[in-house]
Amino acid sequence: MTERARSTRSSSAAPGQAQDDHSAVVDRIDQATPATGRLRLAAGIAGVGALLVGLGAALGVAAGQDAPPAYTSWPLLVLLTLLPPAVAAGLLARGHARTSAAVLAASALFAPGRILVDLQVAVDSSRAGTPELTRQHSLAPLHPTAGLWLLVAGWLAVLAAGVLAAALAGERAEPTEGFDASDDDRRKQGRLAGLLFVGLLAGAGLLGPSFASTDPYLLGVGPLDSPATALVGGLLLAVAAPLGLALAASAGEPAARRGWLLGVAAGLAGVTVPPIVAGVTVAGLDVTWGPLTALAVAVVLAVLSGVVGRTEPASADGETRRDAAVSLPGQSRSQLAAGVLGLLAALAALGGGLGPQLDVPVGLAAPDDYAARLLGPAAGVLVALSLPLLFRGAAAAVRPAFLVALAVLPLAAGGQLDAAITATQFGAIQPGLGVWSTVLALVLGVAAACCAGLAGAAEREEVDLTGITPRLDFAAPAFAAALFTIGAFGLPTLRAPGYVAPGLWSDFRTASWGMLLALVTVLVALALGTVSRPPRAAALLLGAAAVLLVRALEAPLTSARTPGSSVGPGTWLALAAVAALVVSAVLAARRSTSATRGA
């Protein structure tokens, strides 16, 4: 059957079939686009940029003392920077011009942030947290060398290649007859919600410290604690992932959408892999949760790109090829994956609480880590909410609660990691198996959150949300729950003479990051509950109640850490928040029941 005949048949098909024909036409446009020459030039420029980045790192970026990179990083930097243009060139050779253009455009989103972060070496090398470029051994000032400017020139070339390719990545072919624009807009809304959630997870990871350090000349701080140049660069890197995924969600063609996902995944890998390698291989440095979280998101995006924008071959009777991923992966599959990952995260969290926290020299007794006891209840919450996700009949109803309740992982892990980081400042003490098991639980939790978020986006693609308006039927208990939640995380759960608990307003430490993430998660769940369908609103609120319940258990589980301890106001406020959230959930569920009876 000819292409003209296929197009004619699609004009009389159902809207969904017409949209599949539209995607197939786009694939053919990709193979015949006249802009392939421009894309070859863009890929070549990006490849030259990758070589300049590696050459700059190999030559050294600073002079004035012996301050080489903490490890031989230039081959890794070349490989990571060369990955997007290599993928783009391969896609272009196979005729996928739009996908190739989107890969280059998405990876270029990270270039401005990389430039500013690297330029911190020239501004104040003692505050540059880039061990892959330089590691000082004294406070003597360093001076930028030609290697730094080659590095910057490389990133500018990557940025120029992305700008050159961006125009084609954003183009949209003329729709075929029968294409349903309103259905496409509704699908975009669902994709945008799911991918933005995933992007914000990656952005949160990039805002955390890139590595932990016991070296006084190499500070392991995040962008928010850095000087102006590195601060702005770090913020640009954190914004790049959600921006790229927002563009992916709004892309008119599945082929371009696939490229945006691949490009963002490659960009995240380029930012996160060098500090992870430094934390693993360099003495005095350790891996932190931030790069691992962002890298886990990159893996999810790379896997997701494998089913986005592909087309199946024509059937034996010559029917038009069907797009394999006009929408996100199926809701059922995503929920099943979230459930499996949630169970694995719970198992890893349990191992983190029961395993040895520190590896101490022979003859020294390992101290008790009371903070790790909170991982047990966190694992129990995850098991209770992960199991229903394995069954199709219950998965959709439980999924919102599961997604919110995943915040118990950083909440419970924060205290344990805080104690481990403090203890490992003494060179002879290293993190134990329990700490690494907790880190694994956090990574699995991020992957589970991505799958659950994508399942929710897939569900919203199939549901008409235009008639949903903000509801005030449980506004009073929800507002009270918000106030109680702020107090529960802002005030200590335990009081004792000489004991200073990690806080949000003062004494901000590693444990405070988990508290902050849990607080933001609960407040977002409360806000979403007012504009969600009643069953989903009730699930969101119950998931938030589970997070506050784990917070309330901190005092009874860890009170033995210091003599003379007593329950602090944070515990009582957490219990009050649990009660208010349960009342709000009951009111939302009653409205759902009333609506069902009325129908």
Q: What tens digit of pLDDT does each residue of 481-540 get?
A: 889 999 999 888 888 887 788 888 777 888 888 898 899 899 988 888 877 778 888 899
CB neighbour list of residue 286: distance below 8 Å, 6 or more residues apart:
211, 212, 213, 279, 421, 424, 431
Contact call for residues 210 and 222 (beta carbons, < 8 A) = yes
Overall pTM surpassing 0.85 (yes/no): no
The count of C-alpha atoms lying within 13 angstroms of the C-alpha of 2, restricted to the half-sphere facing its C-beta, is 3
Distance CA 274, CA 281 (A): 11
298: amino acid identity, one letter: A
Distance CA 104, CA 36 (A): 13
Distance of alpha carbon 199 from the chain centroid: 5
Distance CA 347, CA 334 (A): 20
Give the pLDDT score at 271: 92
Which of 512, 514, 352 is closest to 435 using CA atoms?
Answer: 352
Contact call for residues 21 and 13 (beta carbons, < 8 A) = yes
| Angle (deg, nearest 10), helices 254-281 and 146-170 | 160
Give the pLDDT score at 17: 43
Distance CA 514, CA 501 (A): 13
- Look at the block and give the residue holding tokens 């292409």: 3
Give the pLDDT score at 282: 81
Give the pLDDT score at 263: 92
Which portions of the chain are predicted below pLDDT 70?
Answer: 1-35, 64-66, 139, 141, 169-194, 252, 306-330, 360-368, 425-428, 460-474, 591-599
The CATH number of 467-599, from 3.40.50.2000, 3.40.640.10, 1.20.140.150, 1.10.443.10, is 1.20.140.150
CATH 1.20.140.150 residue ranges for the chain: 467-599
Distance CA 104, CA 92 (A): 11
CB neighbour list of residue 115: distance below 8 Å, 6 or more residues apart:
152, 155, 156, 159, 233
Give the pLDDT score at 251: 74
Query: Is residue 541 exposed (0-12), middle (13-18) or buried (19+ Cβ within 10 Å)?
Result: buried
Q: How far is CA 51 from CA 26, 40, 43, 47, 248, in A?
A: 33, 17, 13, 6, 28
Distance CA 285, CA 274 (A): 12
